[in-house]
Structure 1
Amino acid sequence: ADQGYAYLKRFTFEATEKALNFLGENSASQLFLLTDVVYPRVKVVFGGNDDFREPLEIDVEEFITVKSYKAKGKRISNYEVKTVEELEPLRFPEPDPEPQETMKVEIDEENGESTLSDADLRDEIIGQMKLFD
């Protein structure tokens, strides 16, 4: 903010009870956009003497890596920035595959019935463990 340039920061919030100042100590710093999107894209619109310039689209993940909230960030441009707009992401995080629980039940081959007692079968289904066999 000292030079009047816009910076882009990527960080994760730290779990703390005290207030965090991620904008920095300069009172002229201003927030254009704050998002929790994993793969954000932004459109930077230039203003002032640079308003004739075409808007700049930035894939934020490729532009800068995640750093501490205290980091200065990476300068977006040497030109005057009017606005920063969030665009629809082109990719999304892959959902975590849900773990599939498998259960082994022994079947008595002769009569097709389980060799586990009803109590043992119930304990196995609900995940109850035994202290003694």
Structure 2
Amino acid sequence: MTTTLRSGHIQPVQIHFDDLDAMGVVHNARYVLLLERALSGYWAERGWPFDPALPHFADIFFVVREFSITYHVPISTVGEAAVHFWLDHMGTTSVVYGFRVLSADHTVVHAEGRRVQVRLDPATLRPSPMSEPLRDSLRQLLAVTL
């Protein structure tokens, strides 16, 4: 399976030896971590690091509500891969990411899926609207119909 670039962003990620399972391929549960590494790197580079000591921490207090993934081609080596992600939807309190785990040269789709996140108020742990500065940053990832 090959990939065509859509909207969103492609973030390089590293596959480490401990990401492999006993069969020598990336363990299925590690794909969640690959997406997390990609998103964390992307947002930190744009001034939204996940750091409770920073004033904007409450803006990025999200929890995962749903995660689904379909696996296509196993990753069988350590080294670089990439995660292509975008937003399929942005609501008042939630976002829906689409994503693909790609080979380093972006020609192979190893897996694809979606992740739904809900912003919570840190004090009440109830859904809470996203701030306008955060919404502005998220808009850059909204999917465009090709």
Greater helix content: 2
Greater strand content: 2
- Same topology, TM > 0.5: no
- The higher radius of gyration belongs to 1
Question: How high is the TM-score relative to the length of structure 1?
Answer: 0.21
